[in-house]
Amino acid sequence: MSFYGWAEIAVTFALVALVSFPLGAYMAKIASGEPVFLTPILGPVERGFYRLAGVDPTKGMGWRSYVFALLMISVLHFLLLYAMLRLQNFFPAFLNPAGMGAMSARLSFNTAASFLTNTNWQNYSGEQAMAYGSQMLGLTVHNFISPAVGIAAAFAVARAFGTQRIKEFGNFWVDLTRISLYLLLPIVIVMTLVFIACGIPQTMANYAHATTLEGAQQTIALGPIAFQEAIKMLGTNGGGFLNTNSAHPFENPTELTNLIEAVSMVSISFALAICFGHMIGDKKQGRVLFYVMAVILGVGVILAYVAEAHGNPLLTALGVDPSQGNMEGKEMRFGTPLSVLFGVFATGTSCGAVNSMHDSWMPLAGLVPLFLIQLGEVTPGGVGSGLYGILGYCVIAMFVAGLMVGRTPEYLGKKLGAKEVKLAIMAFLILTFGILAGTAYSLVNAAGLGSLANAGPHGLSEMLYAWSSATENNGSAFAGISGDIPLLDYGLGIAMLLGRFGFWIPIMAIAGSLGPKVKLAPSAGTFPTHGLLFMCLLTGVIIIMGGLQFLPALSLGPIAEHYVMLAGKTY
C-alpha cells in the first residue's frame, strides 16, 4: 500500500461524485420529457424517429405493455445479432478485411444472449473471431441499446414509486429514444475523440503485420476500437474489442484513459440514484441510495487493495520484493491500486471490463469482485438495473423493518403488501438459483470440470465466478475457464436471459402494483427512509442477503483457498 495508491483511489471517487450529481439532474430532465440543451439540435431527429416508427410520444404504457414492448424488441435484436454472427463471412471486404469466418451456432447463441442482456460475457477472442462489421453493426449497436433499455426500465420503476396513483409508467419507445439521443450518444462521441487523441485506434484498415527483431512475423490487431471502447464503459457493457479487454494497450493505453474508463463505467449508475431523487421530488431519498452504493463499493475497494498490496506470501518467502503488491496478471502501467480499483468498479457495476486478470488476484481480493457481483449488482450496479435492483432491496428492507416494529411496511408513502414482498423475494431467488444451480451442475459434470484450468478451491471459484457473472449480467471473466463448450455456451446464455428478464419483470410487477396506490403523507409512525438508520438497514439487508445465500459457496472457494495457500499449497 502506498500514499499514491490511496490518493489515486480517492481522486477517482471524488471525480465520480463530481460527475454523478449534475448528471443525475440532467437525466431526470430526460426522463420527464423536458427540453435539454441538446433539444434544439436533436429535437427534430427525435421527432423524426417517432414519425418513422409510428409512435405517439404522448401515449403512456401500462407496466405489462412496457414489458411486452421490451420483450418484443429483445426477440428482434436477438435474431438480428444471431444472424449477423452466423453470416459474417458474407460481409463485403471493407467490413471484414481479416476474412473472419462464420461464428458457430452455439457461440452465436451465447454471444447474442450476452450482448442483448448487457452482460458481454465473451466465449470468443474478438481479434480472432469477430469481423469489423459484426463489432460495429452488431455488438456496438447492442452496447447502446441494452443500457438504454436498462435505464428506460429504471425510469418506469421510479415513476411507480414516486407518483400518486398512476397506471401508466411512461412510453418505452420515447424513453429508449431520448436516452440514446440525449445521454449516451453525445457522451460517447466526446469520449471517442478523447480516446483517439490518447492513442486508441479507430480504423477500418486491416491488421498490421510486422517483423520482429528476431525475424518472426507478428500480426497486430487493429480496428474501429475507440468508439466501441467508449460505449463499452459508459453503458456498463464491458465486452472488449480485443481479448484482453482494457488490459490491452489499444483499449486502455495510459493512466488517463484508465481514469476516464473507471469514472465513466460507474457514473451513470450512481447518477441514476440522484436522478431517482429528482424524479420522485425528494432528493434526500436519492442521496441515501447513492451513499449506500458508494459505501459498499468503497469498502470493497479498500478490502481488495489491502489484500493485494501485501503481495503473495509464498513469493515473498522465495525472496520476491512485495513492495509493489501482487503484480501477477497486472499491467505495469496501472500497478496494484488502479488494477484493484478498476476490477472492483467493474464488478460493483455490471460492466465486466477488466484491466487485470482477476484469476491472479490473491484469494481474498478475488472474493471481493465475486461477492459484489453476487449482491445483485446494486453497488451501483448496471445502468438502470442497479437502480431497480436496489429498489427491490428497499422493499425487502422495509418489510424487515415492518416486522421488527409490527407495522404495515411502506416505502415513499406507498403501502407494501404481501404481493410486493413476494415479487421482490422471487426476483432475488431467481438470481440465486441461476448462480448456485448452474455452478453445482457444472461441477459434477465431466464437461464442466474439463473446462477448468485449475483444481481445488480455485477451480470452484472459477466456475462460481462464471455463473455469477453470467446470471447477474456482469460479463467479466475470472479467467481459467474454457467457456466455448456446449454446456457453458448454452447454459450461461440461458442464465444471462433469466438473470436480466427474470429479475426485472417481478420488479416491474411491483411497480405495476404500487403505481395505482395512494401516496400517503408521512406521519409520526412512518419509518424515515432518508436518514442514517435506513442507510444502515438497507446496507445490512444487502450484505446479509448476499452473505447468507452465497457464504457456503464462498467458503469452499476463495476463503478455503486463502487458508490452504497460507499452509503452502497452491492450485
Partner 1 sequence: MEALAMMDLFSVVLGVGVLGLMAVYTVLCDRI
Point out which residues bind partner 1 (CB under 8 A): 64, 67-68, 71, 74-75, 78-79, 82, 86, 104-106, 108-109, 112-113, 419, 422-423, 426, 490, 493-494, 497-498, 501-502, 505-506, 508-509, 512
Q: How far apart are CA 7 and CA 412, in angstroms?
A: 38
How near is the Cβ of 104 to partner 1 at its closest, in Å?
Answer: 8
Q: Which is nearer to partner 1, 466 or 510 (CB)?
A: 510
CB 343 within 8 A of CB 264: no
Locate 355 and state its grid cell.
484491466
How near is the Cβ of 466 to partner 1 at its closest, in Å?
Answer: 19
User: Which residues, at least 6 apart from 53, have a Cβ–Cβ distance to it below 8 Å?
Assistant: 173
Which letter does DSSP use for residue 223 in this model? S
Q: Which is nearer to partner 1, 71 or 189 (CB)?
A: 71
CA separation, residue 232 to residues 162, 168, 265 (Å)? 31, 32, 8
Q: Which is nearer to partner 1, 46 or 484 (CB)?
A: 484
How near is the Cβ of 135 to partner 1 at its closest, in Å?
Answer: 21
The helix (run of H) or strand (run of E) holding residue 466 is helix 456-471
Q: Measuring CA to CA, which residue among 4, 3, 5 is closest to residue 336?
A: 5
Q: Measuring CA to CA, which residue among 485, 194, 231, 340 is closest to residue 241?
A: 231
Q: Which is nearer to partner 1, 300 or 502 (CB)?
A: 502
Locate 103 and state its grid cell.
461464428
How many CB atoms lie under 10 A from the CB of residue 124?
Answer: 18
Which amino acid, one-letter code, is at 500?
A: R
How near is the Cβ of 143 to partner 1 at its closest, in Å?
Answer: 19
How near is the Cβ of 508 to partner 1 at its closest, in Å?
Answer: 8
Q: Which is nearer to partner 1, 91 or 501 (CB)?
A: 501
Q: How far apart are CA 269 and CA 250, in angstroms?
A: 26
Torsion of CA 60, 64, 69, 75, to 10 degrees: 170
How near is the Cβ of 61 to partner 1 at its closest, in Å?
Answer: 13
Q: Which is nearer to partner 1, 82 or 534 (CB)?
A: 82
Locate 54 and state its grid cell.
409510428
Q: How far apart are CA 542 and CA 525, in angstroms?
A: 24
Q: How far apart are CA 505 and CA 318, in angstroms?
A: 54
Q: Which is nearer to partner 1, 86 or 283 (CB)?
A: 86
How near is the Cβ of 545 to partner 1 at its closest, in Å?
Answer: 20
How near is the Cβ of 101 to partner 1 at its closest, in Å?
Answer: 13
Q: Which is nearer to partner 1, 77 or 178 (CB)?
A: 77
Placement of cell 472457494 in the chain: 557
Q: Measuring CA to CA, which residue among 143, 215, 129, 139 is closest to residue 185?
A: 143
Q: How far apart are CA 510 and CA 505, in angstroms?
A: 9
Q: Which is nearer to partner 1, 432 or 454 (CB)?
A: 432
- Collapsing DSSP states into helix, strand and coil, what is residue 415? strand
How near is the Cβ of 494 to partner 1 at its closest, in Å?
Answer: 6
Q: Where are the strands (E) in 372-521, listed by range?
A: 410-411, 414-415
Ramachandran sector of residue 238 (left: φ over 0; alpha: ψ -120 to 50; beta: rest): left
Length of the chain: 571
Q: Which is nearer to partner 1, 141 or 551 (CB)?
A: 141
Backbone angles phi, psi at 217, to 5 degrees: -90, 135
How near is the Cβ of 422 to partner 1 at its closest, in Å?
Answer: 6
Which amino acid, one-letter code, is at 406?
A: G
Q: Which is nearer to partner 1, 420 or 462 (CB)?
A: 420
